[in-house]
């Protein structure tokens, strides 16, 4: 079962690779709960079960709008018979066709970089977001998280972003700089939302890290030397702050990865190789002082800050003084930290 703190739910999974929560069912149930409107922005959709839930919503006369990364609807090479089914990404195209035949308003993104969002706004008052793509691998073989927040102000923040996405108003095509959304308190938990590239999530993560005084734990798919997060992490480690992280095994070995300099500065790092049913560590997850969770779609890379369409969501504030708020924040943070612990113990190889 997910960790629930009032109107916030935090899911860690998938169960197929040892996580506590069923990510596929969480997404399907969320969609099945729609009564009036669904705004869906996701990099990839190839899960038949999730697609069927979207189509069911439309059949209930729910207004559905959907934006997908266009890369997964194309092929790299011209096929011999373009009228015949098959080829790379065919499952994505089949689902796309079924959605079109259901009279759903679906667009591919306008971003020449990467449309990397993973969020749904339901009925204008509830949000689902996290690191999980709506794919069979995303909900069954890749380590991921989801966050559900029942709050109209938080949902409206994502609705505004969705409207801009529908107009192609983001990334390199953004016509201006949008002010960062206002912070919201939900069930005693401070919530901060930022979108890339407008709001520079990289800088926000660095600022949050500088507030930590006890420890930093993280699990992330891609961690590049092009981000300022690695420099901040190295400075904090050298100053004596314990930092521990889990990295996807394949990404951690890339030449551009921050693995070696961060480890050499004193951080404790583990690579998580894909083996058995586990394919990738796909989280973008950080826990500060067992109290604040930083989550969402944002990998720790330069392109994620400058080019890609992304979001981060911060649950908690290390400057909180109210004990009730601190207790609520810690419940969520400890759930995320327990999953980082489990990943390291079950899959981690010390670097």
* pLDDT of res. 309: 84
Based on the number of CB atoms within 10 Å of its own CB, is 315 exposed (0-12), middle (13-18) or buried (19 or more)? buried
Indicate if 184-350 has the same CATH topology as 3-166.
Answer: yes
**Residuewise pLDDT in 10s, the chain (351 residues):** 899 999 999 999 999 999 999 999 999 999 999 999 999 999 889 999 999 999 999 999 999 999 988 777 777 777 778 788 877 788 888 898 999 999 999 888 777 667 889 999 999 999 999 999 999 999 999 999 999 999 999 999 999 999 988 877 655 555 456 777 889 999 999 999 999 888 889 999 999 999 999 999 999 999 999 789 999 999 999 999 999 999 999 999 999 999 999 999 999 999 999 999 999 999 999 999 999 999 999 999 888 878 788 899 999 999 999 999 999 999 999 999 999 999 999 999 999
Strand pairing category for 8-13 and 142-150: antiparallel
User: 66 - beta bridge partners?
Assistant: 40, 106
* pLDDT of res. 137: 96
Verify cis geometry, omega within 30 degrees of 0, for the bond prior to 289: no
pTM: 0.94
3-166 CATH, one of 3.40.50.620, 3.30.420.10, 3.30.870.10, 1.10.357.10: 3.30.870.10
The span from the first CA to the last CA of the chain, in angstroms, equals: 32
Strand pairing category for 142-150 and 280-281: parallel
Q: Which residue has the tokens 């499952």?
A: 91
The dihedral built from the CA positions of residue 162, 166, 171 and 175, taken in this order, carries a sign that is negative
* pLDDT of res. 237: 97
184-350 CATH, one of 3.10.350.10, 3.90.1150.110, 3.40.50.80, 3.30.870.10: 3.30.870.10
* Residue 123 and residue 30 in contact, taking contact as beta carbons nearer than 8 Å: no
Angstrom CA distances, 246 to 89, 272, 350, stand at: 30, 7, 9
User: 295 - beta bridge partners?
Assistant: 313
Q: Which residue has the tokens 């050499």?
A: 264
**Helix or strand run (H / E) with residue 218:** strand 216-220
* pLDDT of res. 99: 92
Q: Where are the domains of the chain?
A: 3-166, 184-350
Q: Give the dihedral of Cα atoms 317, 269, 3, 12; nearest 10 deg.
A: 130
Residue 165 CA to residue 142 CA, distance in Å, equals 26
* pLDDT of res. 22: 98
* Residue 174 and residue 161 in contact, taking contact as beta carbons nearer than 8 Å: no
Q: Give the dihedral of Cα atoms 65, 71, 72, 74; nearest 10 deg.
A: 110
Show the CA angle centred on residue 153, arms to residues 190 and 289, nearest 5°: 15
Tokens representing 78 are: 């011209």
Helix 201-211 to helix 228-238 angle, to the nearest 10 degrees?
Answer: 10
**Helix or strand run (H / E) with residue 254:** none
């Amino acid at each position: 079962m997910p960790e629930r703190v009032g109107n916030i739910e935090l899911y860690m999974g998938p169960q197929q690779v040892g996580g506590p929560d069923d990510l596929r069912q969480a997404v399907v149930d969320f969609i099945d709960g729609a009564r009036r409107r669904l705004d869906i922005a996701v990099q990839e959709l190839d899960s038949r079960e999730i697609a069927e839930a979207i189509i069911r919503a439309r059949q209930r006369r729910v207004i559905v709008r959907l934006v997908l990364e266009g890369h997964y609807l194309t092929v790299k090479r011209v096929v011999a018979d373009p009228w015949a089914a098959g080829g790379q990404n065919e499952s994505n195209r089949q689902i796309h066709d079924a959605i079109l035949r259901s009279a759903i308003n679906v667009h591919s993104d306008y971003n020449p970089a990467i449309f990397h969002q993973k969020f749904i706004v339901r009925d204008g008052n509830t949000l689902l977001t996290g690191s999980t793509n709506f794919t069979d691998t995303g909900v069954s073989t890749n380590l991921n998280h989801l966050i559900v927040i029942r709050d109209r102000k938080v949902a409206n923040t994502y609705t505004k972003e969705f409207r801009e996405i529908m107009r192609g108003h983001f990334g390199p095509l953004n016509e201006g700089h949008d002010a960062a959304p206002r912070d919201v308190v939900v069930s005693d938990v401070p919530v901060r939302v930022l979108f890339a590239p407008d709001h520079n999530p990289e800088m926000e993560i660095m600022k949050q890290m500088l507030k930590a005084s006890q420890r930093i734990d993280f699990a992330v798919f891609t961690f590049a030397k092009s981000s300022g997060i690695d420099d901040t992490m190295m400075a904090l480690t050298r100053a004596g702050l314990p930092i521990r992280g889990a990295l996807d095994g394949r990404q951690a070995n890339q030449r551009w990865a921050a693995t070696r300099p961060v480890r050499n500065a004193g951080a404790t790092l583990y690579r998580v190789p894909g083996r058995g049913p586990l394919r990738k560590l796909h989280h973008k997850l950080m826990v500060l002082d067992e109290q604040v969770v930083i989550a969402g779609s944002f990998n720790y890379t330069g392109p994620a800050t400058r080019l890609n369409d992304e979001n981060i969501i911060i649950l908690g504030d290390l400057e909180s003084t109210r004990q009730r708020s601190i207790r609520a924040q810690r419940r969520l943070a400890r759930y995320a930290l327990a999953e980082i612990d489990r990943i390291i113990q079950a899959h981690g190889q010390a670097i």
